[in-house]
Amino acid sequence: MIKVAAALIVRNGEILIGQRKKADSHGLKWEFPGGKIERGESTTDALARELEEELGVQARIGPEVVRYSWAYPKRATILLMFHKVTEFLGDPQALAFERIAWERPERLPEYDFLEGDLDIVRRLAAGEFDLAA
């Protein structure tokens, strides 16, 4: 199982999302910033590292919001762990993305997200989670 930490970065009622670079696997699909947890790394340390690499921000990782498993056909199962992030230093930049966007939760289903993110996209749009700072 591959463990992945992802951030629900919240500012003014909007969530930061990133569009994968065209040449990447699943090119131009949207996702939440984050990435694989390396051996010996905690979930929060991995997520802080990924946010610095992908967005150029130093983030304080908040509580876990939800976790679930997802399996793409003929690939290893992924354990996705989503954490709320409301505090960060720096202005997010699309360092590892084609582009980034701040979007209201109810509008997230309008974007072409990775299949593994569709469950949380629907749940965020439905207002299932309290993401207030």
User: Which CATH number covers residue 10?
Assistant: 3.90.79.10
| Number of structural domains the chain divides into | 1
pTM of the predicted protein model: 0.94
Residue 133 counted as domain residue: no
Contacts 24+ apart (CB under 8 A), 96-99: 96/18, 96/21, 96/53, 96/54, 96/55, 97/18, 97/19, 97/20, 97/21, 97/33, 97/54, 98/18, 98/19, 98/20, 98/21, 98/22, 98/28, 99/18, 99/19
Residue 132 counted as domain residue: no
Element (H, E) at 47: helix 43-55
Residue 73 counted as domain residue: yes
Residue 14 counted as domain residue: yes
Residue 132 pLDDT level (bands cut at 50, 70, 90): confident
How confident is the model over 44-100, as pLDDT tens digits?
999 999 999 999 999 999 999 999 999 988 888 999 999 999 999 999 999 999 999
Residue 100 counted as domain residue: yes
Domain with 24 in it: 2-125
Residue 8 counted as domain residue: yes
